[in-house]
Structure 1
Amino acid sequence: MIPLKSAVSITIETFPGWAEEVARQLELTVLERESGADYHQWLVNFEGSRLFLCFQHYADCAWLEALSAGDEGVAVWLTGQWNQG
């Protein structure tokens, strides 16, 4: 897991707005949104690759997670694109 960088502090409350911006800039299509008391997990699509855009309160971290081993490179590449910006 490689954390997604953020210029602002991400919290359980601010994640949705921040994640919408991540999705817009990386051209991700949000398919599903799930959340709980201490996490957010959004299923996203990027050119046929399915990934989770995740945030965990206790880890104080957001990241992209591939659903399959074949999409791990896509998650790493997208994370690099975001972290460079």
Structure 2
Amino acid sequence: MTIETFPGWANALAQALGLTVLEREAGADYHQWLVDFEGSRLFLCFQHYADCAWLEALSGQDEEVAVWLTGQWNRH
């Protein structure tokens, strides 16, 4: 994945996992999208230099949701 291909990939992932994209932020070397999953707020992040994408919970109570969604993500 590249910084240019992340949006298409992330939109497909959001649709597959049932995530609602609330906000999109992008910089020269990153993307950070605020998403909602059944009331849990998370960031879907991509860092160009690390060549890595991940989900990050906004609160401790959403950590389990982020872990579960990551498991689902790995199946797609």
Please state which band the TM-score falls in when normalised by the shorter chain: over 0.9
2:58 equivalent in structure 1? 67
Whole-angstrom distance in 2 between the partners of 1:31 and 1:84: 24
4+ residue segments displaced more than 3 Å: none
Aligned length: 76
Q: Following the alignment from structure 1 to structure 2, what is the Cα–Cα distance between the partners of residues 59 and 78? A: 21
Counterpart for residue 7 of structure 1: none
What is aligned with 1:4?
A: none
RMSD: 0.5
Q: Distance in 2 between matches of 1:60 and 1:79?
A: 17
Mapped partners of 2:70, 2:13: distance in 1: 10
C-alpha distance in structure 2 between counterparts of 1:70 and 1:59, whole Å? 27
1:33 alignment partner, SS class: strand
Q: Mapping of 1:72-83 within 5 angstroms?
A: 72-83=63-74
Is there any run of 5+ residues in structure 1 with no aligned partner, and where? 1-9
TM-score (norm. length: structure 2): 0.98
2:3 to 12, 17, 21: 12
Higher fraction of strand: 2
Q: 2:31 aligns with which of 31, 40, 56?
A: 40
Instruction: Name the structure, 1 or 2, with higher relative contact order (CA <8 Å, separation 6+).
Output: 1
